[in-house]
Amino acid sequence: MILSNEENPKLPTQLAAIVAVLTVLGAAWPVLFNEGSAAGKFLVRTHQIEAADDDDFEAAMEAHLYGETVEAATTRTESNPASTTAYVSRIRQLDRVVSILCLLLAVALPFSCQKWPKLSWLYLLPAIWLLVNALAITINGGKTFSELAVPAHATRWGMFLALVFLSLRNAQSDRVANWILRIGCALTFTIHGWEAFQLNPAFQDLLYVTCGHIGIALTESVCHGLLRIIGVMDLVLAISVVAVHSRPLLLWMACWGLITAASRPIALGLDAWPEFAMRLPNSAAPLLVLFIGLPAAFSLFSSKNTNQPESTT
């Protein structure tokens, strides 16, 4: 039995709040104990490039390419290693402070919003942090399909946007949250489906290792075939979540999101649990859509609310 929003009005907000804490914890873990966030890496790399004074080198290379002459720089500012180290240290400290602040907000706001619902707008801070990190992944590059990180992470930062409106506890805000979650699911599943259909090397490795752990030896042709099937399935699910309100489809999306999230620690070991935590919104967002129970695009033309019983008169 699937509980509806009418049977337990607080259920969607409670589930979203729990998933939000785990998502931020997973995102903050490498910031606190490892190499830092994508945004922090971008700032550090930018400063290091500027400190190396690559502008003169770039001008010289362009002059050589086009047969021009450039006047040699009479003065050259030598980079100070101590200054660079101090800057990097400050960036990493700021990175940790921001991640801790977002984690504290995710933990505290569910309790505070019960008394002061308008405090839910503070959920925008973790949403912006996750969105900025996704944008930094796009700018940093270095990985296949990294340019699609912002829509690929839509369920992560979209979960916090949805929480803003779910915490306001009124019919209009529930409708907004419903569409934020549906669009977030559609974006994430579309990008993941496209990556799978294009045989993302990271997905291939994940499939090989995961199947190897459960005793299944995949050939290359089978692996490619499975990924293309998964890609088509994800694209169909992405279209379906915004087009129709179907319980079986939403339940399968939630199960499939959980399976793909769990494949990270299965393939990479328990140390990869932050990867699992960060991907929980891929499973939770379809469940929230199901619990909220409001219509999708095609349903808007037939009924105002899928949970309302038909009239008997």
The predicted model gives 122-140 an average pLDDT of 95
The predicted model gives 266-277 an average pLDDT of 91
Alpha helices in the chain (DSSP H): 11-33, 38-51, 54-66, 81-115, 124-140, 149-152, 154-166, 171-197, 201-213, 220-243, 247-268, 273-278, 281-292
**Does position 178 have pLDDT exceeding 50, yes or no?**
yes
In whole angstroms, what is the distance from residue 148 CA to residue 138 CA? 7
Give per-residue pLDDT as tens, 248-259: 999 999 999 999
Whole-number pLDDT of residue 53: 60
3-state DSSP call for residue 245? coil
Whole-number pLDDT of residue 164: 96
Burial 131-157 (b: 16+ CB within 10 A, else e): bbbbbbbbeeeeeebbebbbbbbbbbb
Whole-number pLDDT of residue 311: 42
The predicted model gives 231-238 an average pLDDT of 96
Q: CA 290 from chain center: how many Å?
A: 20
The predicted model gives 152-178 an average pLDDT of 94
Say which range, 27-41, 48-62, 204-218, 294-308, has the weakest mean pLDDT.
Answer: 294-308
Whole-number pLDDT of residue 74: 47
The predicted model gives 115-120 an average pLDDT of 93
pLDDT band at 312 (very low <50, low <70, confident <90, very high): very low
Whole-number pLDDT of residue 307: 47
pLDDT band at 268 (very low <50, low <70, confident <90, very high): confident
- Tell me which amino acid residue 263 is: S
pLDDT band at 293 (very low <50, low <70, confident <90, very high): confident
pLDDT band at 308 (very low <50, low <70, confident <90, very high): very low
* pTM confidence score: 0.83
Contact at 8 Å (CB) between 283 and 16? no
The predicted model gives 251-279 an average pLDDT of 93
Whole-number pLDDT of residue 86: 85
Give per-residue pLDDT as tens, 34-89: 888 999 888 888 877 777 665 555 566 566 656 666 555 445 455 567 777 888 88
Say which range, 69-78, 126-135, 200-209, has the weakest mean pLDDT.
Answer: 69-78
Q: When comparing pLDDT for 104 and 305, which is higher?
A: 104
**Residues of the chain with pLDDT > 90: what percent?**
61
Whole-number pLDDT of residue 309: 43
Q: Share the mean pLDDT of the chain.
A: 86
Give per-residue pLDDT as tens, 216-233: 888 999 999 999 999 999
**Does position 24 have pLDDT exceeding 50, yes or no?**
yes
Rounded CA Rg of the chain: 23
